[in-house]
């Protein structure tokens, strides 16, 4: 994470804390969470005892810009190309019939590529930074699963239980 991103994320976190005092500043502040230190979480993920996964299906570019700006630009290019290339193919299909099929295939493939960029960027950011992890967990963009106890951890469920 760059310094600029860190300060942007910190600004947003400060605003969230002001509006919701239950915002977790670290993973030790997450009620019922099995880890008290972020390196413990990283070690458990690396040992495949604990998983971090995407929870929300919605892709929000602004959140991606906060936690991973280098991936955000790649995501934006991919998202634009996913719609622009099929649109151009549709226009060209009036002149050459094969272009419509190309546009349709590119739309399907491009949607998958864009989704994969989003998911891998969000998960990488959550794994590499405790601030990003807490922010994404709080926003319900990720959830966690303990493979040893078969327990699921999601902010909304933890919040209801508190």
**pLDDT category of residue 104 using cuts at 50, 70 and 90:** confident
The owner of tokens 């794994």 is 127
How far is 29 from 130, CA to CA, in rounded Å?
12
pLDDT tens column, 42-98: 999 999 999 998 887 778 888 888 888 888 888 888 888 888 888 888 887 777 777
- Residue 42: the pLDDT is 95
> 43 CB contacts (<8 Å, ≥6 apart)?
none
Alpha carbon 55 to its chain's center: 9
pLDDT tens column, 14-42: 898 889 888 998 999 998 899 999 999 99
- Residue 83: the pLDDT is 86
- Residue 4: the pLDDT is 45
- Residue 2: the pLDDT is 43
How many CB atoms lie under 10 A from the CB of residue 30? 22
- Residue 161: the pLDDT is 67
Mean pLDDT of the 131-149 span: 91
How many CB atoms lie under 10 A from the CB of residue 91? 12
Q: Are 106 and 67 in contact (CB under 8 A)?
A: no
**pLDDT category of residue 162 using cuts at 50, 70 and 90:** low
Is the pLDDT at 3 greater than 60? The verdict is: no
- Residue 144: the pLDDT is 92
How far is 27 from 35, CA to CA, in rounded Å?
7
- Residue 159: the pLDDT is 75
Sign for the pseudo-dihedral over CA of 144, 51, 62, 36: positive
**Residue-range domain boundaries for the chain:** 3-161
> 122 CB contacts (<8 Å, ≥6 apart)?
54, 63, 64, 67, 68, 136, 141, 142
């Amino acid at each position: 994470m760059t310094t600029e991103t860190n300060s942007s994320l910190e600004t947003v976190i400060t605003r969230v804390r002001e509006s919701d005092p239950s915002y977790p500043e670290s993973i030790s502040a997450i009620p019922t969470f099995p880890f008290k230190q972020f390196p413990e979480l990283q070690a458990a993920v690396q040992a495949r005892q604990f998983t971090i996964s995407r929870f929300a299906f919605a892709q929000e570019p602004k959140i991606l810009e906060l936690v991973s700006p280098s991936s955000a630009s790649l995501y934006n290019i991919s998202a634009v190309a996913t719609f622009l290339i099929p649109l151009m193919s549709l226009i060209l299909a009036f002149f050459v019939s094969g272009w419509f099929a190309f546009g349709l295939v590119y739309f399907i493939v491009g949607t998958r590529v864009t989704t994969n960029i989003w998911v891998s960027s969000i998960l990488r950011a959550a794994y590499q930074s405790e601030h990003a992890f807490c922010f994404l967990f709080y926003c319900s963009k990720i959830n966690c699963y303990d493979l040893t106890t078969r327990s699921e951890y999601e902010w909304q469920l933890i919040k209801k239980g508190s």
